[in-house]
Amino acid sequence: MKAFIIDSYKPKDGGRIAEMPVPETGEHDVLVQVYATGINPLDNKIMKGEFKLVLPYRLPLILGNDVAGVIAQVGSRVRKFKVGDEVYARPDKGRIGTFAEYIAMHEDDVAIKPSSLTMEEAASLPLVALTAWQVLVEKADLKKGQKVFIQAGSGGLGTIAIQLAKHLGATVATTTSTENVNMVKRLGADVVIDYKKENFEDKLRDYDVVLNSQDAKMLEKSLSVLRPGGKLISVSGPPDPAFAGETGLSWMLKVVMFLLSYNIRKKAKRKRVSYAFVFMRAQGAQLGKITELVNAGIIRPLVEKIWGFEAIRDALAYVESGRTKGKVVVKIK
């Protein structure tokens, strides 16, 4: 099968399309013929080697963390799916590889594709929708009437997180550029900060939750907008000791995570707020709940561009530029 692989970690211009064997299907696995895959900033970070300490992949590695397609084969103990089912998923972090014609995944990581979406639209959702769910529902326990600040509202994660937060009954503030202000308002944002004209830390106060997806500077500024008892939750780091414990890292890496997050945890404590890092995990059951929201019209994906498989390096470079509105998708079949 054709696949986009990396042979080594490179800061840029890495990866190539190559012939790879079709993955073996375990007894609890489904083999999915990939119709489309979403491109995420995570793909570029993995390609550069930014996660090689906590995600020690064996090279050559097939990249890719979002998939929509059709089940071509099922393992002997699979009970949830059958050949021919249209599905979508974010594979487990140890079994990525959606930039290919086929991928094998554990059935627990897979969900039936929303009937209201095309394959390309469905492929844009799993990673960002599960991230939004695990931050806002699981970690933040966001309630009706609370206030949440979601950074970068026009990005892949932001566009979905805004819609989910509104469904949960929260007041939503976000940041975006001038040209995207009306777009994020249509998604449901109540307070929109044009970062080209204003600083969010000057405008927002007494928020219950912040979803941070940007750099360390923005992370620290976010402390000032939270009320005492508020929650600062980051998907862009730094990892904290809780994350190290959850992922079973070595004692040395646990020390590294402790040191990396020490300053922000100390500053959060002074502000009487909490800090947590979330690295999204595969979860088919949660994705099934997201399917229900999509089919009900509560959440809708925003796909900016669809690229062909041969142009996948261009798609990765475009996402790396940080100019995307919603998601970028690559059509495989």
pLDDT tens-digit series, residues 265-322: 999 999 999 999 999 999 999 999 999 999 999 999 999 999 999 999 999 999 998 8
Looking at the structure of the chain, the number of domains it has is 2
Q: Whole-model pTM?
A: 0.97
Q: So what's the pLDDT on residue 236?
A: 93
Same domain, yes or no: 102 and 207 = no
> Dihedral of CA 132/192/239/51: which sign?
positive
138: CATH: 3.40.50.720
Q: So what's the pLDDT on residue 54?
A: 82
Same domain, yes or no: 195 and 266 = yes
Same domain, yes or no: 17 and 81 = yes
91: CATH: 3.90.180.10
Same domain, yes or no: 154 and 217 = yes
Same domain, yes or no: 80 and 136 = no
Three-state DSSP class for residue 112: strand
Q: Is residue 285 in a domain?
A: no
> Structural domain of residue 115, as residue ranges?
2-124+301-331
Same domain, yes or no: 242 and 193 = yes
Same domain, yes or no: 233 and 221 = yes
Which two three-digit tokens encode residue 185?
Answer: 């308002």
Same domain, yes or no: 150 and 245 = yes
Residues 135 and 213: their CA atoms lie apart, in Å, by 11
Same domain, yes or no: 200 and 94 = no
Contact (Cβ atoms closer than 8 angstroms) between residue 254 and residue 245:
yes
Between the CA of residue 35 and those of 121, 252, 329, 331, what are the distances in Å?
11, 41, 11, 6
Q: Is residue 282 in a domain?
A: no
Q: Is residue 287 in a domain?
A: no
Q: Is residue 289 in a domain?
A: no
Q: So what's the pLDDT on residue 247?
A: 79
Q: So what's the pLDDT on residue 169?
A: 98
Residues 165 and 157: their CA atoms lie apart, in Å, by 12
With residues binned 3-state (H G I as helix, E B as strand, rest as coil), the percentages for the chain, rounded to 5, are 35, 25, 40
Q: Is residue 292 in a domain?
A: no
CA atoms within 13 A on the CB side of 291: 19
Q: Is residue 175 in a domain?
A: yes
Q: So what's the pLDDT on residue 289?
A: 98
Q: Is residue 247 in a domain?
A: yes
Which residues of the chain are under the pLDDT cut of 70? none
Q: Is residue 305 in a domain?
A: yes
Which two three-digit tokens encode residue 272?
Answer: 């009487």
Same domain, yes or no: 82 and 177 = no
Same domain, yes or no: 140 and 272 = yes
Same domain, yes or no: 231 and 268 = yes
